[in-house]
């Protein structure tokens, strides 16, 4: 990687991390802010590409945050060129939102001994997208329509989703946690929560922890109880995983921070200030956790899918 490419990547990490730190310093968790402002009248979801595919990882946070800051009601985004291809045009004076694309390519190199080896070279680049609220000529094709659906049926779907994972979930007591040494999730009884959606949000958080077990995604949780920095990193992953999963399930996450999150806030600020890549890593781990939980769901047959 050239020095210029390295500097560009570092600048991307610095700018995005600084934005998230600024929110946290104001006591705002930017990954839950979209649900607290009441701006969205449409269905709860992740930000969507022009083809309906949801964004993942760090781009979910960037687009949620930008939608709130600029008052966009639509969940759909596209590039300048995609807007033109779809018969639309970005309105004069509108500015786009920067998101990132991370990948790698393979390069063959010859060692001093003449041996050829293949190396994976990571790269990170930015590109600009526009919310469909900024684009004219789309004829309402990307307008979010409020779903006519009983909220309780959505909660029911969430219950089936968690049951399909096979996780051992126990109910009782006053605390929610994942017991890694015995591989079970402890949850207070349903009536201890403000509403059913809050129960789902907290369970989503603990389910994200559950995915880190050695026989699942194998995140190193051995230092969780001993190292505040490692604890903060894992809690950040679980926070993001909960929000990503709730968006996928169509459920508004918990709006009130849990009591233990006040102590995590300082830890998150320290981690993000010391490591400009930490939020990218946490978002990537959260995405893998949610993808893993989705992979445990049974496939619908053709009759059920209709």
Assess whether 168 and 286 both reside in one domain. Answer: yes
Assess whether 14 and 121 both reside in one domain. Answer: yes
Q: Dihedral of CA 124/295/62/20: which sign? A: negative
Nearest to 165 by CA among 112, 211, 222: 211
Assess whether 68 and 91 both reside in one domain. Answer: yes
What is the per-residue pLDDT for 219? 95
Phi/psi for 2 (5° steps) reads -75, 165
Assess whether 293 and 169 both reside in one domain. Answer: yes
Assess whether 40 and 156 both reside in one domain. Answer: no
Assess whether 205 and 66 both reside in one domain. Answer: no
Assess whether 291 and 213 both reside in one domain. Answer: yes
d(CA 63, CA 76): 10
33: in domain: yes
Q: What pTM was estimated for this model as a whole?
A: 0.76
| Mean pLDDT, range 10-19, rounded to an integer | 72
61: in domain: yes
Position 231 pLDDT exceeds 50: yes
Assess whether 183 and 94 both reside in one domain. Answer: no
* Domain count along the chain: 2
What is the DSSP code string of 218-250?
Answer: ----TTTTT-HHHHHHHHHHHHHHHHHHHHHHT
Assess whether 30 and 88 both reside in one domain. Answer: yes
65: in domain: yes
235: in domain: yes
CA distance between the termini of the chain: 49
Assess whether 112 and 180 both reside in one domain. Answer: no
For the stretch 190-223, pLDDT in tens is: 888 877 888 898 899 999 999 999 999 999 888 8
Assess whether 109 and 210 both reside in one domain. Answer: no
Residue 293: HSE in the Cβ half-sphere, 13 Å Cα cutoff: 30
Last residue of a domain, one of 136, 164, 199: 136
d(CA 72, CA 40): 8
What is the per-residue pLDDT for 193? 80
Assess whether 70 and 188 both reside in one domain. Answer: no
146: in domain: no
For the stretch 131-153, pLDDT in tens is: 999 999 998 888 755 444 444 45
Cβ within 8 Å of residue 173, ≥6 positions away:
186, 188
CB-based contacts of 172-176 (< 8 A; 24+ apart in sequence): 176/202, 176/203, 176/205, 176/206, 176/258
Which residues span the domain enclosing 187?
151-305
Hunting for tokens 């966009």 — which residue is that?
72
């Amino acid at each position: 990687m050239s020095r210029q490419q390295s500097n560009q990547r570092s600048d991307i990490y610095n700018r995005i991390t600084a934005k998230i730190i600024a929110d946290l310093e104001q006591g705002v968790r930017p990954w839950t802010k979209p649900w607290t402002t009441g701006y969205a009248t449409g269905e709860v979801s992740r930000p969507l590409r022009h083809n309906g595919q949801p964004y993942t990882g760090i781009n979910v946070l960037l687009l949620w945050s930008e939608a709130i800051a600029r008052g966009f009601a639509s969940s759909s985004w596209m590039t300048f060129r995609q807007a033109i291809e779809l018969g639309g045009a970005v309105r004069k004076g509108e500015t786009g939102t920067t998101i990132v694309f991370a990948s790698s390519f393979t390069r063959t190199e010859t060692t001093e001994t003449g041996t050829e080896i293949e190396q994976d070279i990571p790269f990170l680049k930015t590109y600009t997208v526009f919310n469909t609220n900024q684009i004219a000529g789309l004829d309402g094709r990307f307008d979010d329509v409020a779903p006519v659906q009983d909220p309780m049926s959505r909660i029911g779907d969430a219950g089936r989703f968690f049951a399909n994972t096979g996780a051992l979930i126990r109910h009782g007591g006053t605390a929610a946690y994942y017991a890694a040494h015995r591989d079970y999730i402890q949850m207070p009884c349903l009536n201890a929560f403000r509403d059913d959606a809050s129960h789902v949000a907290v369970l989503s958080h603990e389910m994200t922890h559950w995915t880190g077990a050695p026989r699942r995604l194998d995140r190193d949780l051995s230092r969780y109880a001993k190292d505040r920095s490692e604890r903060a990193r894992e809690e950040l992953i679980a926070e993001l995983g909960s929000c990503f999963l709730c968006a996928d399930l169509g459920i508004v996450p918990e709006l009130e921070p849990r009591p233990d999150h006040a102590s995590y806030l300082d830890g998150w600020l320290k981690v993000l200030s010391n490591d400009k890549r930490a939020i990218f890593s946490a978002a990537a781990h959260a995405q893998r956790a949610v993808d893993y939980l989705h992979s445990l769901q049974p496939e619908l047959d053709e009759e059920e899918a209709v």
